[in-house]
Structure formats: structure tokens, C-alpha cells
Amino acid sequence: MRPFAPITGDPIDRSRFPVDEWALIETRFSADDLGVTESLFSIGNGYLGLRGNYSESRDAHVDGTFINGFHETWPILHAEEAFGLARVGQSIVNVPDAKVIRLYVDDEPLELSSADLLEYERRLDFRTGVLTRELVWRTPSGKRVKISTRRMVSFTQKHVASIEFAVTLLDGRAPVQISSQLLNRQDRDLEHPAIETPSGTIADPRKAERLGRRVLLPEVSEIGETTGRMRLGYRCAESGMTLGVSADHTLEAPAEVSTQLHCEDDLTKIIYRTHLEAGQTLRLTKLVSYHTAHRVPARELLDRCERTLDRVGEDGLARLQADQREWLAAFWKRADVRIHRQPELQQAVRWNLLQVMQAAARAENQGIAAKGVTGSGYGGHYFWDTEIYVLPFLTYTSPYAARNALRFRYQLLPHARRRAREVSQKGALFPWRTINGHEASAYYAAGTAQYHIDADIAYAISQYVDATGDTDFLWREGVDILVETARLWADLGFWRRDNGTSSFHIHSVTGPDEYTTVVNDNMFTNTLARFNLRRAAEAVHEIRSEDPDAYDDLVRRTGLTDDEVEEWADAARGMSIPFDKKVGIHPQDSRFLDREMWDLENTPVSSRPLLLHHHPLVIYRFQVLKQADVVLALFLQSEEFSLEEKLADFRYYDPITTGDSTLSAMVQSIMAAEVGYHELALQYFLQALYVDLTDLHANTADGVHVASVGGVWCALVNGFGGFRAKGQQCWAFDPRLPDDWEGLDFRLNLHGTRLGVELTRDQIRFEIEDGPGPLTLVVRDEEVVVAPGEPVTVALPDQGPRIDGRPPNPAGTVRADGTAISSTVPHAD
């Protein structure tokens, strides 16, 4: 689109990455994009993540192993101080690496970048959850060696990863040596929370927080003399986080093997030496366990590792792998989305969906990080992305994971209450970015000022409860968040009387779009805050009427009064939602339309992305968007706006939205679909789908864009599927199948019932795949009831309204009142 070349045809190099609906496959080694492929071939379970590094650990962009929430802290030093600025820097730590297995044949090391590789295949299998690599290597002495590795992070055993490493000599006879390690690389740099840009973080040598000190202090480094069991234990110097990692090895060898153990600080290794004949295979299995905690001694964590290893070892690797397949089979059964007869797209879709689970499946008491456990980008922080981009997929397909993510927010509530006090407010203000609950956004204008995170969390709670009917969570925990966030809005906003009408205003906040900051009455914020206030009042009324005891508990926990609940309802009713009658759109904030317009269409590519070429003040001066803002509100609060309003807003904002944020494309896809820009909707979908697979924003090396991969599901289901949840138990469909798609099917878990939805060009079909049903649905204006064993088909005369092309560039155009829209292309330095 505007920022990037439009995607036409298949953007993936199929000579290297062949099509497979159930796997991402690479058939050629390349040292040029190691960082990208490491991210694409990462495996993880939401707790533990191993980047797709080669076991040999020599050709790597970042040799990364990450554990969700395992972080170091450091004081944020502001170039200029002010009251209430974020103080506690937090960065995910690259933990000791268990992936390392080095191979020597004829004493020659295998190094991929220099090796003569006769065969090469790397494969991430979406059904087995195993990353395999098959090589045939011609050694410098001319012998052919086959190396097969399999690597897995278990979805069923949260703390376990397994690695298999098999070497088969194909010719002659050779001494073979394998060195398997636990290695801590002692990084002294932590990823600095830098600015998201399409081409990576701002090019600056200071982007990494140079701590100039050890982060992981060694506490234990041992290797069992008889067992060979390895144990490393660490403590983070400042955060108090502790870690234990332990590994067991099993060797199958056709000949005698000498074993050597080695142990020092930051490194344990076991070295196997043997001689292989042609056709013989040496097979090593490495079972690894990580345990982490806060302030628990590393030795105790190592005991937990050992118990895990004992238990899993007893059951055996085959069982672990079978469990994994079974787990994934269940996942695909409840969560798969199929694009009929488009294997290229199908592959990309499934890779994206799997990423969400790799980021979230076992996140449990942690949040879901912006890069999952695939990299240290964004410091391993949790943002609003989780609630708005990731939770929809989890809520409708794996509700337990959505509940875990929301319970994590509940656990942060005490921090959020304190933070509200620091910014002079009642209620709770969730940190814009955090790992441990402390606000970590060093640039408040595009961080702390994004108060909308409160409403985003409230929205996700509501969505979850409406989809699942889990009132247990709502009444015992979720409602506390609704109450405290509503309190914040009621306290933050104020009433003002203009032209005889009183309305409720929220000032000096930043919406999702970070190309304008600290504005008054940001339309997104006010719209979502209105929802938050309403929903909190409703929840309180509901609890009071349905469970007086729960209500009494709530009052005890929160000090709730009747007056404030009424105040919320009032504030919601009076909420100012900016609308400009002359232009006929919702301005992004109360004075958005006062600004000059940035003529994006005529801005040279060399000035993009804007934030790498212009001082923030310059960007803030213009009507230009980093990402959809009003348009996102139109989607999330769909029933509050008419199709005409949506069309007008979309037409206005789309041409001035740079998409410099990866969060933008999916929203634009959904709303383009709704208002009728079919081609554009598909194009934005592709921009989201291929963010990582084609490294569209040039920073996939830092990790997978988890929000974007979550957004792919939304674009499919909400965009093309036209699915909207409207209030409690009203699920509506208004499909927009792309022109050259034959069909699309997906499934939704609604109140414990799995609904299969199949959309084709002329109909939409619903079927209860599992669970009690029945479900009442709305297709366009028609209500249908779907009961188990009674699929329903609704004919579709069309795929909704249709507008060709894309909205015109409004820069310089003349308005209805005869005035031209003042526009310019600011100079770039």
C-alpha cells in the first residue's frame, strides 16, 4: 500500500520456502537473513521460547532463549527529570542456551555458512510442533554426513524442551565428536525499549541499555559425574528473578563412546567421542527443563527442574511428542481457519495462528509479550496489543488462555492503583508497557499518556465474558478492573458546558495513533472509555441483582458506592465524541481537523517511515497517522456507528494513515471490508499476513509481531467473515468474502459451544461442531438458530457493499464549503 509496495501474487520465494499447508519449510541455507529465519523458525509455548538458531550456534543473528517475564530491572535515566516519569526499566533476559550441540567430524566443525551442504531442509511442522532440520554435509575431507535434528518446546509440559541430534556417516569411517552444552553468554546489553519503526528501532548505538555489568549472577554450575545431568542456576542482579536450567542426555551409539564432562561458570558441557562407519548413526537426545521464579533460590528451582526431568524422562520422549501432536490436533480442531484452495495463503495463515499459541499457550501467570518468546524486541514487554489484537483469537478459540491473560492484569491491579495515585487520579491506571507491573514507558507522550489501555483491558474482559459466559471470573476478579478503570475515567474527565449542552471531556491523553500525542477528546479513547464506564455500571448492577453476596464482597474489596456507579453512567451518557458536521467525520481528537494535512501520497519513499526522518513535533503538527485510530474505534464499537459514518471516516483517514505501525493493517482490512473497499481489504490483509513471513517492516529479526499475527485472525473472521459480537450473546455476521476466494471457514467457541462457520460466495453455513448449543445468530438482518446436528445455511446475494479502488488523496482537495484542504509535504532532513 502506501508505505510498502502492494503485494501482488505470491510474495514468498518458493524456490526456498515451498508451499505446504501444514509446515513452514526452508530448503536452502542463507546467511543473509539469519535474524528473520531465526524468528520464523522459533518454537515456544508462551513460557519458554527457543529462537530458530542452528544447534551449532556459530551462524546466528541472536542466539536466543527467552522465558516469558524473566527480566532484569534498571533505573530509567531521563535526560531531563520530571515528577511521575517511569522509573523502573525492565528488559527480558536472554537466558542460558540449551540449544547448543556442536559437531566435529574428522575434527572439522560443522559451520553452516562455510559448510558444503548437499542437502538442507528446515521445517516447522504445524501439526507436530516440532522443528526439524535435515542436512547432508560433505566434510572438508570429502565424507558425506547426514545430520538430523528435531527440536520441540512442549505445550503440555510447560518447563520442557527436547532436542534430538542424529549423525549418520554416509561414507567411509571417521572420528565423530558431539559437544552438548548449557551456555550462558553473559550479555551485558539489554534491549532498550526503543521506538517501533517499520525498519526496526531507531538506528542508534545506544538503543541497547548498556548495563556494563553482568545481568545473570551465577549461583550454581554443576554436572553430575555419573549421570551427566547438567545444572546451571542464576539470579538476576537487580530484579531478583531466579532461574534454574537442567539437562539430561541419552546417547544411542553403534560403537564405543568416550564421554567427557566439563563444568565452569556459565558453561557445562558433555563431549561424546566415537568412530562411525558408513551407515552408522550416533543419536543424542537432550531433555531440558527451565524453572524460573522471583526470589526463590536457584537451587530450589534446580530441584524442580530435576523433578520435571525425572518425570518426563520416565514417560519418554515418544510420549512427550505424542502429547504435543494431540495438543496441536485439538488446537487446530478448535481454532483452524481455512481459505479454500489457496495453499499459499493457507500456509501463511496457519503459521500466523500457531505463533499466537507459541506466545500464549502457557503464558499463564505472565502476560503475552509483543514478541512472545521469540526475541527481545520491545524488551519483552506487555502492551495493549494483548487485549486488542491477541485476545480475540484466544477468547473465541482457547478461552482458558484469554482468561489467564486477563487474570494477569488482575494481578497487576495493585500496581495500577498506585500508578493512578502517581498521576493524581482515582481508580487504576495500567502501565502502558511493563513486565513486572511498574510503568516502563520512558517517553510518556507516546506511553503513559495512552490511558486507553484501561479501556482496552475492560473491553477484553467484556468480550471474554460475553463470549464464554464466565461470570465466575467477572464477579470475582474482572469486575474489580471494570470498577477501578471506570473510576479513573470518571475522575480524569470533566464536564463542560458548550452552547447550552453539558458534555464529558477527557483531556491530555494519547490515542493508539502515536503520530499525534497528548490531545483532548481523542475519539478512540472517549469511545472506549464510554464503553468502559457503561460496562462497569452494568456489571455492578448485574452482580447486585443476581448475587448479593458477591456484591457485598465487591463493595468490601473496592469501597464501591451507589453514587459513583451513577456518576459513571452519567459520564458515559455525556461523553464527548468529536464529530465535525461540515466535514462529516469523527475527528481523531477535538482539534484534529485544525491541522494542516500531510500529503502522504506525494511524500517520497526516502522520507518514510516518518518518525525516522522528522522530529516528533513536526509529525504532531499534521493530519497524518501512524496507525488506525478512529477506524479502530469504529471496529471495536461497531454497533455505535452507522455504515455511513464508517464509510466517511474510513475514506478520510485511510489516505493519511502511514501504516508505520504493524498494528494498523489488520484494522484497515476489517473496516475496508465492512465499508466495501474489497480490494483494499484484501491488500491490507496481505500486509498483515506477511509482516513476518516476508519481513515487511524489516524488523522481524527482533522477534515475531505477535499483535499482527493475532490480527490476522481478526481480519479473517471479523473482516472477511464479518463477525461482530454485539453485546451479550448477540453474534452477528455480515460477510465480505474477497473476490477471488472460493471459501473460508473458521470456528468460534461461544459459551462452550464450538460453532463452525463456512463462508462461500453465495452462502454462509453454520454448524455446531462441539458442545451443547443451540446458538442464536444474526446474518445481516436475519436471525437464525443453530442446534447440534442441525446446520443452517443462509444464502448471500452478495458480499456486501462494493467500492472499487481506494479512497482518493484528500490533500489539496476542495471541500463542500469551497475551502481547500491545506496540505504540504514537510521537508526531511
> Looking at beta carbons only, is 287 or 656 nearer to a second copy?
656
Prior bond to 609 cis, omega within 30? yes
Q: State in angstroms the smallest separation of the CB of 648 from a second copy.
A: 21
> Looking at beta carbons only, is 140 or 812 nearer to a second copy?
812
| Residue written as grid cell 521469540 | 374
Q: State in angstroms the smallest separation of the CB of 523 from a second copy.
A: 15
Per the residue annotation, which of 38, 477, 514, 674 is the catalytic one? 514
Q: State in angstroms the smallest separation of the CB of 76 from a second copy.
A: 5
Q: Which residues pair with 48 in a beta bridge?
A: 67
> Looking at beta carbons only, is 1 or 76 nearer to a second copy?
76
Spell out the SS3 assignment of 405-424.
HHHHHHHCHHHHHHHHHHCC
> Looking at beta carbons only, is 441 or 700 nearer to a second copy?
441
Q: Give the 3-state secondary structure of residue 462.
A: helix
Contact 700, 691 (CB under 8 A): yes
DSSP, res 390: I
* Gyration radius of the chain's alpha carbons: 27
Q: Mutual orientation of helices 643-653 and 664-675 as an angle, nearest 10°?
A: 130
Region class of 107: left (phi > 0), else alpha (psi between -120 and 50), else beta: left
Helix locations, 251-390, DSSP H: 298-315, 317-335, 343-360, 385
> Looking at beta carbons only, is 411 or 822 nearer to a second copy?
822
Contact 549, 482 (CB under 8 A): no
Q: State in angstroms the smallest separation of the CB of 545 from a second copy.
A: 33
- For the question of residue 514 being annotated catalytic, the response is yes
> Looking at beta carbons only, is 76 or 174 nearer to a second copy?
76
CB within 8 Å of 790: residues ≥ 6 apart: 768, 774
> Looking at beta carbons only, is 302 or 611 nearer to a second copy?
611
Q: Give the 3-state secondary structure of residue 708.
A: helix
- H or E segment at 680? helix 678-689
CB within 8 Å of 288: residues ≥ 6 apart: 98, 160, 161, 162, 163, 182, 245, 246, 247
Neighbours of 106 (CB within 10 A): 16
Contact 686, 679 (CB under 8 A): no
Q: Rounded to an integer, what is the distance from CA 500 to the centroid of its chain?
A: 46
Q: State in angstroms the smallest separation of the CB of 379 from a second copy.
A: 11
Q: Which residues pair with 25 in a beta bridge?
A: 123
DSSP, res 377: G
> Looking at beta carbons only, is 111 or 596 nearer to a second copy?
596
- C-alpha–C-alpha distance, residues 123 and 260, integer Å: 32
Name the residues that contact a second copy, by CB under 8 A: 75-86, 89, 192-195, 201-202, 204, 206-207, 421-426, 441-445, 447-449, 494-497, 505, 507-509, 517-518, 520, 590-591, 594-596, 611-618, 620-621, 819-820, 822, 824, 826-829
Q: State in angstroms the smallest separation of the CB of 758 from a second copy.
A: 47
Q: State in angstroms the smallest separation of the CB of 494 from a second copy.
A: 4
- C-alpha–C-alpha distance, residues 593 and 623, integer Å: 7
Q: State in angstroms the smallest separation of the CB of 620 from a second copy.
A: 5
The catalytic site residues sit at: 514
